[in-house]
Amino acid sequence: MARRSKPVELPLSRFEKARAQWRAELEAGPAAPGNSSNRSGLEVKPIYTPQNAGERDYMDALGFPGQFPMTRGIYASMHRGRTWTQRQLIGLGVPEDYNARLKSILAHGGSAVSLIPCNSVYRGYDADAVPPEILGTCGAIVNTVEDMEICLSGIPIGEISTALNDPSPFTLLALELAVAKRRGIAWDRIAGTSNQSDYLSHFVANHMFFRLALPGARRVLLDHIAFARRRLPQWNPISIVGQHMQQAGATPAEAMGLTLASAIQYANDCVARGWSPDQVLPRFTFFFDISISFFEEVAKFRAGRRIWARLTRERFGATDPRSWRFKFHGQTSGVDLTREQPLNNIARVTVQAMAGIFGGLQSLHTDAYDEVLSVPTEKAARIAISTQNILKEEAQLTDVIDPLGGSFYVEALTDQMETKILQVIDRIDAAGGMYAAVEAGLVQRICGDSALAFQEKVDSGAQTIVGINKYRVPDTQEPAREALRPPPKRKIEAQLKRLKRFKAERGRDSVARALSALGWAAASAEANVFEAVVEGACAGLTHGEICAKLREVYGFGTPLIVA
Amino acid sequence: MSLPGIDPPARILITKIGLDGHDRGSRVVAAFLRDAGMEVLYTPPWQEIGQVVRLAEEEDVDAIGISSLATDHLLVPKLLKALAKAGLGHLPVVVGGIVPDADEGKLKKAGVRHVFHPGASREEIVDVMARLAVEARAAKAKSLFG
């Protein structure tokens, strides 16, 4: 018998043996279905183990909620204590329509006011300056203090927080303050957020909110922050919007990186005004898109939270823990919704919302399933808020803080997303900061390129979208899709009449004085422009008049289109 | 690359009228058409109807694509009337974006040749635009020489 030398067998650990066996079985079986990379372009492995965790120090990387680096949440109790604010975007029709919908949403579980104005308002015009066909079709018509009074009729604005979707010069807040003054409510009780104060994101990605040329928008925002610091202790004057860039095509990692780069720009601008970081950073809030790429979104938020805590402490020297807190509102992504088989959108929104909840958000808007068809119908709006009620109160999602923390996959992905996000911030830093990068068109190109790349994945079938590139149902077999109809003509006519009467009945002298004071403030380097806007609103200036006056000084501005 | 029957390549105006500024869709569509060999004239949002008519005329386009995400499609019948008045009634106009079912019929009745909804594929968009451009070229040749 020939003697065979025994092969040297390295002692395999149980882990390695089991892994080798698993790999062999995996490779022998059917190919693992699904994506091998996520939307941010990160490779996704079929399994994650302690090996992927690397040499992570728990306290450095994660720690406890409410403590640096805040990865697991910005408050000690997170959703166990205070869940999230149910802040549904609401905006439609004439002021009476808006008020009725607002009351219905609040009655069904909404816990905050949000106001989406009509597109004419977004663009800086009064109702009498645009084609009547499109008035009130995409938001509420609010031009005057009287309109705002009706919008907020029966709403205790001294007690409930308000999110105003209104960019520079923040006329809606000025009108709300005018309403508060009429009702005898002290301004220090007015709480909420200027939801669209991030003019850089408007210039890049959502031109709908673009009202003033960049330098004017920059100036008015800083005056707005100064005014809030002095007069509105419960108001968050700045919300940095990642949602626009992600909706415009940026990947989740790009959107987070660009948003943090914008926040750095705004923080630098505040510091240049002479404020210390700890005086302003606690008022910074964020607003993000939540796509259906579930784990990627959870990791995006966890990574963003950690980066913000480190960045505010290390780069800006903030020592107040409130400056490190990454407070954010999430909105489920409309781009993921389909017009085909629209009820499927309820399932999509549920997954998106869960990603935001596990990501640790402070406030949430869930899209109505029919948002891809029109401004939501009443029925769809109620289902959207019920989705939040179910997630919050039935599903026991809020029992444990950061429940996905510690998952081998989620922690590895959080680290990888963090690296990707930091690369985006570095790129913007190298371009001279966000303001310069936006002026140069760099950010527009990033969003546009990623939008095209995603569309190509959909067209090639690499990214499945149910009802679009798979599981299609012929259009003829679909039930009728209800959509909200524009307000009837008579309502628009009555609204136009109301505006005409308002303008005729105001004190002519005080209006003229307020208008010239506004022009003077805008042209002067010392005055506070936003204060003049507030005084103008109280004196009876309309939204269109305020915007027109500021455009005389700052220019209209056209966004840079990088096609 | 030139499409069958079209030389020089089709010229398409991609624009937005009204008040909305969302332009992800129009940018992606413009890229699709360029990739397919067409010449695309692309404008910023908020074009006045008069500006669109003038551009269409001066640039001698073969078709117009209006992108609408926030009810600006309700202004398209006005655009069609203005085009007809300027002697450009033969120019095919298409709309892409969010158009409720109830409005699609109205737009078609007013003369809109095609409505692209969210989810429309590259193939569908390129095919329809190429076909409409060929037709428009033929109609123009006929009116000039026929």
Task: Residue B53: name the closest of B86, B75, B93 by CA.
Answer: B86
Burial class (CB in 10 A: 0-12, 13-18, 19+), A80: middle
Instruction: Tell me, yes or no, if A457 comes closer than 8 A to chain B by beta carbon.
Output: no
Which residues of chain B does A447 touch, with a Cβ-Cβ cutoff of 8 Å?
A: 24
Q: Is the minimum CB–CB distance between A377 and chain B shorter than 8 Å? A: no
User: Has residue B122 been placed in a domain?
Assistant: yes
The nearest alpha carbon in chain B to A207 belongs to B21
User: How far apart (Å, rounded) are the C-alpha atoms in residues A557 and A560?
Assistant: 9
Q: Is A137 on the interface with B (CB under 8 A)?
A: yes
Residue located via tokens 């997630």: A391
The verdict on a CB contact (< 8 Å) between B119 and A563 is no
Question: Cβ contacts (< 8 Å) between B74 and chain A: which residues?
Answer: 133-134, 137, 486
A388–chain B nearest CA distance, Å: 26
In the prediction, which pLDDT does A4 show? 58
Which residues does chain B have within 8 Å of residue A461's beta carbon, measured at their own beta carbons?
none
Contact flag A339-B122 (C-beta cutoff 8 Å): no
Instruction: Identify which of A407, A333, A416 has the alpha carbon closest to the alpha carbon of residue A72.
Output: A407
Closest Cα to residue A487, out of A145, A134, A126? Answer: A134
**CB of A130 less than 8 A from some CB of B:** yes
Neighbours of A92 (CB within 10 A): 26
User: What letters, b where the CB count within 10 A reaches 16 and e where it falls short, cover B80-95?
Assistant: bebbeeeebeebbbbb
Residues of B in contact with A544 (CB under 8 A): none
For B47-61, give the DSSP string: B-HHHHHHHHHHTT-
- Residue A13 to residue A19: CA distance in whole angstroms: 10
Answer yes or no: is the ipTM higher than 0.90. Answer: no
Q: How deeply is A408 buried, as exposed, middle or buried, from its count of CB atoms within 10 A (0-12, 13-18, 19+)?
A: middle
Answer whether residue B118 is part of any domain. yes
CB atoms within 10 A of CB A451: 23
Structure-token pair, residue B98? 């969010």
Residue A475, Cβ density class (10 Å: 0-12 exposed, 13-18 middle, ≥19 buried): exposed
A491 to chain B, any CB pair closer than 8 A? The answer is no
Q: Which of B88, B86, B65, B66 is nearest to B75 (CA)?
A: B66
Which residues of A are less than 8 Å from B102 in CB distance? 483, 485
CATH of the domain at B125: 3.40.50.280
Is B30 part of a structural domain of the chain?
Answer: yes
- Sequence-distant (≥ 6) Cβ neighbours of residue B80 within 8 angstroms: B89, B93, B110, B111, B112
pLDDT > 90 fraction of chain B, expressed in percent and rounded = 74
Q: Do A338 and B119 touch (CB under 8 A)?
A: yes
Nearest Cα of chain A lies from the Cα of B143 at a distance, in angstroms, of: 34
CA-closest candidate to residue B9, choices B141, B122, B137: B137
3-state secondary structure of A470: strand
Q: For residue A488, give how far its alpha carbon lies from the nearest alpha carbon of chain B (Å).
A: 14
Q: Which residue has the tokens 């190509």?
A: A456
Alpha-carbon distance B43 to B51, whole Å? 10
- The gap between the terminal CA atoms of chain A, to the nearest Å, is 79
pLDDT at A87: 86
pLDDT exceeds 50 at position B2: no
What residues of chain B lie within 8 A of the CB of A373, using their CB?
A: 98, 100-101
- Say if B6 falls within a structural domain: no
Rounded to a whole number of angstroms, the distance from the CA of A167 to the nearest CA of chain B is 14
Closest-CA distance, B28 to chain A, in angstroms, reads 6
What's at A359, amino acid-wise? G
Please report residues of A whose CB lies closer than 8 A to that of B21.
206-210, 559
Residue with tokens 């009729």: A153
Residue A366: what pLDDT?
96
The reply to whether B106 falls in a domain is yes
Res. B6 pLDDT band, cuts 50 70 90: confident
* CA angle centred on B26, ends B35 and A218, rounded to 5°: 125
CA distances from B49 to A330, A548, B16, B103 (A): 36, 22, 10, 19
Three-state DSSP string of A361-408: CCEEECCCCCCCCCCCCHHHHHHHHHHHHHHHHCCCCCCCCCCCCCCH
Confidence band for B143, pLDDT divided at 50, 70 and 90 = confident
Question: What letter does residue A248 receive in the DSSP assignment?
Answer: T
- Structural domain of B117: 11-145
Residue pair B99/B73 in contact (Cβ under 8 Å)? The answer is yes
Conformation bin of residue A303: beta by default, left when phi > 0, alpha when psi is -120 to 50: alpha
List Cα–Cα distances, A260 to A198, A251, A290, in angstroms: 12, 14, 16
- Which range (A32-36, A358-362, B37-41, B131-135) has the least confidence? A32-36
A-chain residues near B117 (CB < 8 A): 339
pLDDT for A422-470, tens place per residue? 999 999 999 999 999 999 999 999 999 999 999 899 989 999 999 999 9
Please give, rounded to a whole number of angstroms, the shortest distance from the CA of A330 to a CA of chain B: 19
Asked if B27's CB is within 8 angstroms of A563's CB, the reply is yes
Q: For B20, which of A208, A249, A467 is closest by C-beta distance?
A: A208
Tell me, yes or no, if A469 comes closer than 8 A to chain B by beta carbon: yes
Q: How many domains does chain B have?
A: 1
Task: For residue B98, give the nearest of A130, A372, A456 by CB distance.
Answer: A372
* Interface contact flag, A373 B75, Cβ < 8 Å: no
* B4 in any annotated domain: no
Residue percentage of chain A with pLDDT more than 70: 97
Distance between CA atoms of A545 and A514, rounded to whole angstroms?
A: 11
Residue B1 lies in a domain: no
Q: Tell me the mean pLDDT per 10 residues along chain A, length 563.
A: 58 89 87 75 92 82 97 95 87 94 91 92 95 91 98 96 94 98 97 94 87 94 97 96 94 98 98 97 96 98 98 98 97 93 96 98 95 87 95 96 96 97 98 97 95 91 92 79 86 97 94 97 96 97 98 88 71
Spatial distance between the Cα atoms of A287 and A163, rounded to a whole number of angstroms: 11
CB contact under 8 A, A339 and B22: no
How many other C-beta atoms are found inside a 10 Å radius of the C-beta of residue A506? 18
The chain B residue lying nearest A371, using CA atoms, is B98
Mutate to test the interface with B, among A120, A134, A344, A484 (most CBs of B within 10 A): A134
A251 touches chain B (CB under 8 A): no
Using an 8 Å CB-CB cutoff, list chain B residues near A333. Answer: none
Inter-chain CB proximity B27 and A120 less than 8 Å: no
> Between the CA atoms of B66, B72, B76 and B81, what dihedral angle is there, to the nearest 10 degrees?
-130
- Structural tokens at position B29: 């569509």
State how far the Cα of A556 lies from the Cα of B47, in Å rounded to an integer: 14
- Asked whether residue B127 is assigned to any structural domain, the reply reads yes
User: Would the CA dihedral through A243, A244, A246, A247 be positive or negative?
Assistant: positive
* Closest CB to A208 among B22, B44, B101: B22
CA nearest A209: which of B68, B43, B24, B21? B21
Residue with the two structure tokens 């003019």: A199
Residues of B in contact with A452 (CB under 8 A): 27-28, 31
More confident residue, B47 or A478: B47
User: Closest partner residue to A339 among B40, B42, B118, by Cβ?
Assistant: B118
Residue in A with minimal Cα distance to B72: A134
Q: What whole-number distance in Å separates Cα of residue A169 and Cα of residue A529?
A: 8
pLDDT at B1: 44
pTM: 0.92
Q: Is A480 on the interface with B (CB under 8 A)?
A: yes
Cβ atoms of A356 and A333 closer than 8 Å: no
